[in-house]
Amino acid sequence: MKLKIQLQDPDGVYDSLTEAAESGLPDDDSLSQDEREALTESRRQKLEQQCKLWIKHGEFVVIEIDTEAGTATVCKA
């Protein structure tokens, strides 16, 4: 059986993209707080653009589950 599940979580998507954007930034004081925030926002926006294929309106994700094949696929938005 195949079924689709639609998830809506604007905070989850935003927080996950922000966390991903922050990863890889130096942990030391080589960047000021303003530089860190600007770089994080720039990276988050880029990731958001790259993820638009699967995330609709910044909050909706549809997963198709095939119980017979034992697979799950994120559907294009």
Q: Give me the pLDDT at residue 28, please.
A: 83
Work out the angle between the directed axes of helices 33-51 and 10-22 (0-180°, nearest 10).
Answer: 120
pTM: 0.83
pLDDT at 27 (0 to 100) = 85
Q: Which domain holds residue 70?
A: 2-74
- Average pLDDT, consecutive stretches of 10 residues, N- to C-terminus, the chain (77 residues): 96 96 90 94 97 95 98 97
SS3 77: coil
CA distances from 39 to 44, 50, 51, 60, 69 (A): 8, 17, 18, 25, 42
Computed on alpha carbons and rounded to an integer, the radius of gyration of the chain in Å comes to 16
pLDDT of residue 29: 85
> What pLDDT is recorded for position 59?
94
What are the distances in angstroms from CA 42 to CA 15, 17, 30?
Answer: 14, 11, 18
**Total domains present in the chain:** 1
